[in-house]
C-alpha cells in the first residue's frame, strides 16, 4: 500500500490512553486490585475506532496479552515504593505518613502473617511489592463467585475434595460478614499467591492452567519470574551498589532494608520484559524466514481489498489468494496468512456483485439497486477498518519500538473475526440472491434473520431495512393515491390496463405471488393493501366522493414514508384505511346504486319469486309460445309482459327496476317453438356489473329457463287435471272411455304430486333460504370482496340446489327425463281427448239422423246404418282408445321407475343436504314404499324428520 493511498484512507493515529497512576489503598487486597486495573493498558485500537474493531480488540487482549505500561506510570510507581534515594520518607517524616504508605503496610502485613523474626519475611515483602509494581491486571469481571468457582475447580483437579468442601463452607461464612467489603479482592489475592507458588518450578514462558482460565474472564494475567530467578538476576546490581558504597560515592545504612531489594527488583523486572520482547521479535522473525512481519501485514491488508501484494497474489485457477512459494515461512504462519486472506476473497465476491449492479442501474430494478447500495455501505465500513489497521502498521513502523510489537498477524486474526463473519454473510447473500428481484429478493434476504448468530441477525436486519426503502415508497403511494409507481414490476401488486370496466375490480389489479414478502408483510395484510388501492380507484372513478378524498389526503400528510419503517405503524395505517375505504364502497353500492333492490328484482322476475306475476305471465303466453319460434316477435311478447306486470302486484315495484325488465329471444334453430327461445332479461350497467357481471347474468338466465320449464309443466298438469274433471262429465255417454280416463287421472295425480314437491323445494328451501343468507351476508360484509363473495355464494347455492352444477349432471338427466315424460303424457291426453270428442260428435250426428228418420215415420236406423255404426265404435275402441290405454300404462310405469331412480341418485350421489331430503318429501306418504319401492334410506328419513 503506497504512502499516498494510506494517507488518504488512514485516520489520525490513535494512541492507547494511559490512566495516571494512583497510590495503593489502606488494605493490601484493595491495593493489589486497584493497581492492576489502573496500571494496565490495552494494545488494541483506541476508543474512537469502529464498534466491530473495538470488539475484536477485546478478544485480542485475551490472546496476545497487554502491552507494557507507559514509562511515566512506571517511574511514578517506582518513586513511590523505592527507598530513601527514591523517595521513601526519612526519619523526619510524620508517623502518619509512614504508617499509611504502601511499603509500610505490606511489611506490617507480612510480619503479621509469618512473624517479625521469620527468615523469609524480606522475601515475602519483596514479592508483594513486586506484585503491586507489576503490570498484572485483574479480570474485568470482578465476580467473587466466579473466583470461588475457579478455586474449587482447582481443588477438584488436584483431587482435594475435602479441601474443596472446606473452602465452600468458609466462602459461605465469608459472605455473611458485612464488615468485609471487598471480598473478591481477598479471594483473588489468595488465588494469585497460590498460582505464584505453584509456578516457581515451572518455565518462564508457560502459565498455569488457572492463569489461563482467569485470562478468559478479562485482561490476561502476566506470569512473573520467581523470587530465586530475580535474586540471581540482581546479583550484579547489588555488587555494583556495594562498591559504590565502599568508595563513599553513596550514603549507605548500617542495616539493609527490604525496600532496597525492591528498588533493584523493579529495574530487573523492566530488563526482563525488554529481553522477552526481543526474544519474541526474534522468534517471529525466525517463523517468517527472516521477512519483516510488517511487510507481510501490508500484503495481507492489500489482499483484504482484493489487491495483489508483494508476496500475496490472486490465483485465478485456484480462485483464491496464495502466498509466494519462494517465501520460506513456517507452516503455522502460512496457514494463518491463508485464513486471513480468505477475507479478501469474500470481499472480492461482494465487490464484484456491487460493480455489476452499478454498471447497469436501470436493468435490474430498484430493489436490486437498493441491495447493492446496502452492500456498498458494508464495504465502506470495511474500508474504514482496513484504513485503521493500516494506520497501526504505519504507526508501529514509524516508532520502531521493538519492545511493543503493536499489530501482529495473530492480533490481526483476532481483530478480523467479526469482519470475517460479516463478510461471509454478505458473500452468502450475494450467491443466494443472484438473479432474484423484487419481493423474492427481500424474502430470500429476510429468511436469514432466523439465524441463531446475533451477528448474522444484525447484518440481515440492516440489509432488509435498506431493501424495504423502495417497497415502502411504492406502498405509501398505493395506499394513499391508489397508484402504482413500479417501472420494473417489483411490487407485489400489479395492474393490467387493458381489462374492461366490468372486470375492473376482479382482474385489473392483482397480487404477484412471486413478489410476495410473506415474512415481512403477511398475506392477510397484502389482501387489505390490495383492496385499499382498488377501493380508492373505484371511489375516484365512480363515486366522486370529495369527503373521502380529503380524509385520505389528511391521513397521507400525517403519515410520511419514513413512518413506514415501523411495522406496527404500517399495520395500523393499513387497517384504518381498509376500514374507511371499504365501508365507503359498500355504502355507495347499496345506497347510491341500490344493489339490494336490483337483486330483489332479479329474484322476483328472473327467478319467478313473484308468484302471481309468474302465474299470470304463464297464462298469457302459453298459447303464444306454443307457436313456432320463427313466427314470434319481441314487441308482441314485450306487450304481454307489460300486461302481466300491470295485472299483478309487480306493478308496485320501483320504476327503476321495472324499466330494466324486458323480453329476449334466443337464437332460433329449426324446429324450435316459443318455449325454446323465450326468456326474460334484466338490464345491468356499470358499476352494478362488478357484481352482476355478464357471467352472473348468464347463470341467472340458465336458472330462469329451468324454473320457467318447471312452471310450464306445473301449469300444464293443472290444466290437464281440470280437463280430466270435465271429461268425466262430457264423455259419460261413452262408458268405454271412462276406464281410460281413470288411468289418466291416476298417472296425472302422481305427476302433479312430484312436480309440486319439486317446485316447492326449489322456491322455498333453495331460493328463499339462500336469499335470507344473502341479506345477512350483505349486512355483515366488511369490504367489496366480501360483498361479491356473498352474491357468488347465493348464486352457486341456487345452481347446486337446482341440479344445474357440474357435479349433478347425471341426476339432472333423470329429472329432465321425468319432465319430458310429463309433456308426452299431456300430448297423449290431448290426442285421446280429440279422438273421443270426434267420436262423440259423430255419434251425436248419427243420433240426430235417426231422430229425423223417426219423425218422418221411417225406421231410425237401417241394418246397414247399424252395421256401419257398430264398425265405427269398434274402430274407435280398438284404435285410439286401446292405444291410449296402453300408452298411459307404459307412461305411468316409466314415470314411476324414473322417480325411483331419481330418488336413489339423490341419496347416493348428491352431497347437498336439501337434495337428499327431496326424496323423502316425494314419498312423504310412503306410496312407493308400500308398493315395494324404496326411494330413500331409513337414516335419511330420520334425519329429515329431525330437521
pLDDT given at position 274: 57
pLDDT given at position 927: 72
CA distances (Å), origin 178, targets 42, 174, 183, 271, 411: 35, 9, 10, 43, 43
Q: Where are the alpha helices (DSSP H) in 764-912?
A: 769-780, 784-801, 809-855, 863-876, 882-909
The neighbour count for residue 102, using CB atoms within 10 Å, is 21
Domain ranges of the chain: 144-171, 290-396+406-425, 455-589, 593-691, 693-946
Degrees to nearest 5, angle at CA 676 with 674 and 681:
85
Give the dihedral of Cα atoms 867, 871, 874, 875; nearest 10 deg. -170
Task: Please write down the long-range contacts of 693-700, taking CB distance under 8 Å and 24 or more positions apart.
Answer: 693/502, 693/503, 693/506, 694/502, 696/791, 696/792, 696/795, 699/795, 699/799, 700/602, 700/606, 700/607, 700/795
Give yes or no for residue 264 having a pLDDT over 50. Answer: no
Give yes or no for residue 263 having a pLDDT over 50. Answer: no
Average pLDDT of span 7-21: 35
The label of the residue with cell 393499513 reads 574
**Residue 557 corresponds to which cell in the numbers above?**
400528510
Residues 941, 907 contacting (CB under 8 angstroms): no
Write out pLDDT tens, residues 351-389: 998 988 888 766 778 888 888 899 999 999 999 988 988
* Domain 693-946: CATH architecture, name and number where available: Up-down Bundle (1.20)
Residues 850, 861 contacting (CB under 8 angstroms): yes
Average pLDDT of span 851-861: 76
**Residue 398 corresponds to which cell in the numbers above?**
514509524
Q: Where residue 221 falls among pLDDT bands split at 50, 70, 90?
A: very low
Average pLDDT of span 872-876: 79
Q: How far apart are CA 143 and CA 214, in angstroms?
A: 11
Q: How far apart are CA 751 and CA 746, in angstroms?
A: 9
Write out pLDDT tens, residues 303-356: 888 888 888 888 888 888 888 877 777 788 888 888 888 998 999 999 998 988
Percent of the chain clearing pLDDT 90 (strictly above): 17
DSSP annotation of 460: H
Residues whose CB is less than 8 angstroms from the CB of residue 363 and which lie 6 or more positions away in sequence, other chains included: none
Q: Where are the alpha helices (DSSP H) in 626-737?
A: 634-646, 655-658, 674-677, 694-730
pLDDT given at position 646: 93
Instruction: Kindly report the backbone phi and psi dihedral angles of residue 283, in degrees, each rounded to the nearest multiple of 5, phi listed first.
Output: -65, -45
**Residue 56 corresponds to which cell in the numbers above?**
475484536
- Per the prediction, the chain carries an average pLDDT of 75
Write out pLDDT tens, residues 419-432: 999 999 999 999 88
Q: Under DSSP, is residue 140 helix (H, G, I), strand (E, B) or coil?
A: coil
Q: Where residue 137 falls among pLDDT bands split at 50, 70, 90?
A: low
Q: How far apart are CA 155 and CA 177, in angstroms?
A: 24
Write out pLDDT tens, residues 280-317: 555 455 555 557 778 888 888 998 888 888 888 888 88
Average pLDDT of span 264-285: 53
Q: Under DSSP, is residue 482 helix (H, G, I), strand (E, B) or coil?
A: coil
Residues whose CB is less than 8 angstroms from the CB of residue 91 and which lie 6 or more positions away in sequence, other chains included: none
**Residue 244 corresponds to which cell in the numbers above?**
559504590
pLDDT given at position 649: 93
Give yes or no for residue 595 having a pLDDT over 90. Answer: yes
Q: Where are the alpha helices (DSSP H) in 400-490?
A: 409-415, 417-433, 438-446, 454-481
Give yes or no for residue 616 having a pLDDT over 60. Answer: yes
Write out pLDDT tens, residues 426-474: 999 998 888 888 888 888 888 888 888 888 888 888 888 888 888 888 9
Degrees to nearest 5, angle at CA 693 with 692 and 694:
120
pLDDT given at position 773: 94
Amino acid at each position: 500500500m503506497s504512502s499516498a493511498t494510506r494517507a488518504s484512507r488512514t485516520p489520525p493515529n490513535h494512541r492507547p490512553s494511559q490512566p495516571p497512576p494512583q497510590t495503593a489503598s489502606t488494605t493490601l487486597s484493595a491495593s493489589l486490585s486497584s493497581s492492576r486495573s489502573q496500571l494496565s493498558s490495552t494494545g488494541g485500537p483506541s476508543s474512537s475506532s469502529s464498534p466491530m474493531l473495538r470488539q475484536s480488540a477485546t478478544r485480542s487482549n485475551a490472546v496476545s496479552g497487554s502491552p507494557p505500561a507507559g514509562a511515566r506510570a512506571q517511574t511514578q510507581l517506582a518513586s513511590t515504593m523505592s527507598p530513601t534515594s527514591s523517595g521513601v520518607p526519612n526519619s523526619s517524616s510524620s508517623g502518619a505518613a509512614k504508617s499509611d504508605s504502601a511499603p509500610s503496610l505490606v511489611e506490617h502485613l507480612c510480619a503479621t502473617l509469618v512473624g517479625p523474626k521469620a527468615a523469609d519475611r524480606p522475601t515475602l515483602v519483596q514479592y508483594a511489592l513486586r506484585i503491586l509494581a507489576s503490570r498484572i491486571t485483574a479480570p474485568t469481571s470482578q465476580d467473587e463467585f466466579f473466583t470461588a468457582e475457579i478455586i474449587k475447580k482447582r481443588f477438584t483437579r488436584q483431587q482435594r475434595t475435602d479441601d474443596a468442601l472446606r473452602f465452600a463452607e468458609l466462602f459461605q461464612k465469608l459472605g455473611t460478614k458485612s464488615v468485609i467489603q471487598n471480598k473478591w479482592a481477598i479471594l483473588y489475592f489468595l488465588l494469585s499467591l497460590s498460582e505464584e507458588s505453584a509456578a516457581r518450578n515451572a518455565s518462564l514462558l508457560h502459565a498455569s492452567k488457572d492463569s489461563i482460565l482467569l485470562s478468559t474472564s478479562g485482561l490476561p494475567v502476566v506470569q512473573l519470574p520467581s523470587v530465586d530467578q530475580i535474586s540471581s538476576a540482581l546479583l550484579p546490581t547489588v555488587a555494583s551498589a556495594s562498591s559504590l558504597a565502599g568508595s563513599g560515592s553513596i550514603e549507605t545504612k548500617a542495616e539493609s532494608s527490604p525496600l532496597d531489594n525492591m528498588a533493584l527488583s523493579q529495574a530487573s523486572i523492566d530488563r526482563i520484559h525488554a529481553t522477552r520482547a526481543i526474544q519474541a521479535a526474534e522468534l517471529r522473525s525466525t517463523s517468517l524466514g527472516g521477512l519483516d512481519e510488517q511487510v507481510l501485514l501490508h500484503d495481507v491488508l492489500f489482499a483484504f481489498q482484493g489487491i495483489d501484494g508483494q508476496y500475496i497474489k490472486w490465483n485465478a485457477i485456484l480462485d483464491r489468494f496464495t502466498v509466494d512459494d519462494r517465501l520460506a515461512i513456517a507452516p503455522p504462519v502460512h496457514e494463518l496468512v491463508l485464513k486471513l486472506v480468505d477475507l479478501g476473497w469474500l470481499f472480492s465476491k461482494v465487490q464484484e456483485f456491487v460493480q455489476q449492479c452499478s454498471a447497469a442501474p436501470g436493468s435490474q430494478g430498484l430493489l436490486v439497486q437498493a441491495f447493492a447500495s446496502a452492500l456498498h455501505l458494508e464495504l465502506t465500513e470495511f474500508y474504514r477498518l482496513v484504513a485503521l489497521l493500516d494506520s497501526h502498521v504505519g504507526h508501529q513502523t514509524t516508532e520502531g519500538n521493538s519492545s511493543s510489537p503493536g499489530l501482529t498477524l495473530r492480533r490481526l486474526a483476532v481483530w478480523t473475526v467479526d469482519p470475517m463473519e460479516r463478510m461471509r454473510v454478505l458473500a452468502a447473500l450475494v450467491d443466494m440472491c443472484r438473479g432474484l428481484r423484487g419481493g423474492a429478493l427481500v424474502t430470500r434476504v429476510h429468511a436469514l434473520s432466523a439465524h441463531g448468530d446475533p451477528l448474522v441477525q444484525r447484518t440481515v436486519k440492516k440489509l432488509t431495512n435498506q431493501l424495504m426503502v423502495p417497497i415502502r415508497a411504492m406502498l405509501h403511494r398505493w395506499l394513499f393515491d391508489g397508484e402504482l409507481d413500479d417501472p420494473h414490476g417489483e411490487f407485489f401488486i400489479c395492474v393490467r390496463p387493458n381489462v374492461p370496466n366490468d372486470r375492473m375490480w376482479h382482474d385489473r389489479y392483482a397480487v404477484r405471488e412471486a413478489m410476495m414478502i410473506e415474512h415481512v408483510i403477511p398475506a392477510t395484510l397484502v389482501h387489505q393493501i390490495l383492496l385499499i388501492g382498488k377501493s380508492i380507484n373505484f371511489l375516484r372513478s365512480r363515486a366522486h366522493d370529495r369527503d373521502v378524498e380529503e380524509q385520505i389526503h389528511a391521513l397521507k400528510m400525517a403519515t410520511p414514508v419514513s413512518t413506514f419503517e415501523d411495522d406496527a405503524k404500517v399495520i395500523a395505517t393499513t387497517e384504518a384505511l381498509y376500514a374507511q375505504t371499504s365501508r365507503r364502497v359498500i355504502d355507495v353500492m347499496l345506497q347510491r346504486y341500490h344493489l339490494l333492490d336490483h337483486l330483489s328484482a332479479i329474484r322476483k322476475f328472473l327467478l319467478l319469486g313473484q308468484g302471481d306475476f309468474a302465474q299470470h305471465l304463464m297464462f298469457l303466453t302459453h298459447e303464444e309460445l306454443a307457436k313456432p319460434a320463427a313466427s314470434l316477435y319481441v314487441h308482441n311478447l314485450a306487450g304481454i309482459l307489460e300486461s302481466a306486470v300491470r295485472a299483478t302486484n309487480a306493478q308496485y315495484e320501483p320504476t327503476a327496476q321495472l324499466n330494466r325488465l324486458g323480453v329476449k329471444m334466443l337464437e332460433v334453430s329449426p324446429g324450435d317453438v316459443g318455449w325454446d327461445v323465450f326468456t326474460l332479461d334484466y338490464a345491468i350497467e356499470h358499476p352494478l356489473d362488478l357484481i352482476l357481471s355478464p357471467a352472473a347474468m348468464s347463470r341467472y338466465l340458465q336458472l330462469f329457463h329451468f324454473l320457467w320449464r318447471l312452471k310450464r309443466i306445473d301449469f300444464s298438469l293443472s290444466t290437464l287435471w281440470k280437463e280430466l274433471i270435465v271429461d268425466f262429465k262430457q264423455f259419460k255417454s261413452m262408458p268405454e272411455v271412462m276406464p281410460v280416463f281413470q288411468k289418466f287421472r291416476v298417472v296425472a295425480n302422481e305427476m302433479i304430486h312430484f312436480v309440486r314437491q319439486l317446485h316447492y323445494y326449489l322456491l322455498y328451501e333453495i331460493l328463499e333460504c339462500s336469499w335470507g343468507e344473502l341479506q345477512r351476508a350483505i349486512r355483515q360484509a366488511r369490504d367489496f370482496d366480501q360483498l361479491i363473495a356473498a352474491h357468488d355464494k347465493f348464486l352457486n347455492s341456487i345452481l347446486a340446489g337446482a341440479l344445474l352444477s357440474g357435479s349433478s349432471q347425471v341426476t339432472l338427466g333423470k329429472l329432465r327425463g321425468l319432465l319430458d315424460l310429463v309433456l308426452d303424457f299431456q300430448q297423449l291426453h290431448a290426442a285421446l281427448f280429440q279422438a273421443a270428442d270426434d267420436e262423440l260428435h259423430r255419434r251425436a250426428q248419427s243420433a240426430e239422423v235417426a231422430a229425423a228418420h223417426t219423425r218422418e215415420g221411417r225406421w231410425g236406423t237401417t241394418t246397414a246404418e247399424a252395421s256401419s255404426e257398430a264398425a265405427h265404435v269398434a274402430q274407435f275402441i280398438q284404435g285410439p282408445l286401446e292405444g291410449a290405454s296402453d300408452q298411459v300404462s307404459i307412461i305411468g310405469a316409466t314415470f314411476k321407475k324414473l322417480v325411483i331412480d331419481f330418488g336413489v341418485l339423490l341419496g347416493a350421489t348428491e352431497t347437498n343436504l336439501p337434495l337428499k331430503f327431496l326424496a323423502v318429501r316425494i314419498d312423504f306418504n310412503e306410496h312407493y314404499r308400500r308398493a315395494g319401492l324404496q326411494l330413500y334410506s331409513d337414516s335419511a328419513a330420520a334425519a329429515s324428520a329431525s330437521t
